[in-house]
């Protein structure tokens, strides 16, 4: 049987909502996604291949631990941290028939509601990688809209950084039971949540990262709530971890404006635990979040 899966992107600060399939309501979007799949006709040639329909999906994330039941026929495989070992992996039998799944790409970066990669781009004064040459041959850079958004809504990144955006994120309307009931009613057979993004903030009760959703922001174990609700409804559950970019992603937080009234004033990415005395984040070390204890990549920051 052909394996076909639908992923839907979600992003608001209070709770995840469907992002794609515009011009219809939230519920209709999910139902439409399910209907698209359920009634899609496949010719015999297509049935020979594995096919995946992406509504919205970025390909750089890493999927970890889509749950397997004890009824899976294959014995568990032990993996070693090598590419050769990972080649042993095969999709579990249940996944071949689980045609429709939902992925909630939802975390602290949704607080501003100002597009993806906010935690990185809010520190970029000029848009990185988009240098242009006008008709006269003059080379310049575009002003970064997320940087401007941050100035307008929160203040300068030297005074109000992403660590402070995390504290603003309360997820006050989040209800995993209600959302997953809706997803299941719309035909979803499995669900995946985001454990952390490139911003190094963990959406669960992490014993390794003190900057997590239990200690600050929502002050809730969001992944724990997702997991409990999914399993209660019989949905397969997994998480995605986006640490692949963490090595260089926050280098922008180590910079400073190159012009204007804040020129040369370091952004908050250089703050340490000692700087937090009397602040809301007292006792926490920003370096555990921004985590750039290496020489900056000169190609990663626009001068």
Contact (CB, 8 A) for 6 and 33: yes
Gap between the Cα atoms of 288 and 103, Å rounded: 27
Task: Give, for all 303 residues of the chain, the pLDDT tens digit.
Answer: 222 333 444 445 565 544 333 333 444 544 554 444 444 333 333 332 233 333 333 323 334 444 444 444 567 788 999 999 999 888 888 988 898 999 999 999 999 998 889 999 999 987 644 444 445 554 445 568 899 999 999 999 999 999 999 999 999 999 999 999 999 999 999 999 999 999 999 999 999 999 999 999 999 999 999 999 999 999 999 999 998 877 788 999 999 999 999 999 999 999 999 999 999 999 999 999 997 766 766 665 443
Cα angle, residue 260 at apex, residues 257 and 263 outer, rounded to 5° = 40
Q: Partners of 194 in the beta sheet?
A: 240
Contact (CB, 8 A) for 147 and 125: yes
Model pTM score: 0.73
Reported for 253-260, long-range contacts at CB under 8 A and 24+ positions apart, including other chains, are 253/120, 253/123, 253/157, 253/161, 253/162, 253/290, 253/292, 254/290, 254/292, 254/296, 254/301, 255/123, 255/125, 255/301, 256/158, 257/125, 258/125, 258/126, 258/303, 259/125
């Amino acid at each position: 049987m052909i394996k076909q899966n639908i992923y839907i992107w979600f992003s608001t600060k209070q709770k995840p909502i469907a992002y794609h399939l515009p011009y219809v309501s939230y519920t209709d979007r999910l139902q439409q996604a399910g209907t698209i799949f359920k009634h899609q006709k496949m010719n015999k040639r297509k049935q020979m291949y594995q096919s995946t329909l992406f509504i919205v999906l970025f390909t750089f994330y890493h999927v970890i631990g889509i749950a397997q039941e004890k009824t899976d026929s294959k014995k568990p495989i032990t993996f070693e941290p090598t590419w050769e070992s990972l080649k042993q992996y095969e999709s579990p039998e249940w996944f071949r028939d689980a045609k429709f799944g939902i992925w909630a790409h939802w975390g602290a970066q949704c607080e501003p509601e100002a597009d993806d990669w906010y935690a990185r781009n809010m520190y970029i004064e000029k848009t990185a990688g988009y240098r242009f040459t006008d008709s006269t041959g003059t080379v310049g850079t575009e002003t970064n809209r997320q940087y401007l958004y941050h100035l307008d809504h929160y203040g300068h990144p030297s005074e109000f950084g992403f660590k402070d955006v995390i504290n603003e994120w309360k997820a006050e309307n989040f209800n995993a039971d209600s959302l997953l009931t809706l997803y299941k009613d719309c035909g979803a057979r499995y669900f995946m949540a985001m454990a952390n993004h490139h911003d190094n903030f963990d959406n669960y009760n992490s014993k390794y990262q003190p900057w997590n959703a239990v200690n600050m922001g929502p002050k809730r174990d969001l992944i724990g709530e997702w997991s409990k609700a999914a399993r209660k409804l019989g949905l397969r559950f997994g998480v995605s971890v986006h640490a692949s970019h963490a090595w260089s992603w926050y280098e922008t937080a180590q910079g400073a404006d190159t012009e204007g009234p804040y020129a040369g004033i370091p952004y908050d990415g250089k703050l340490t635990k000692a700087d937090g005395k009397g602040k809301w984040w007292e006792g926490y070390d920003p370096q555990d979040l921004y985590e750039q204890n290496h020489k900056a990549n000169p190609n990663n920051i626009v001068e």
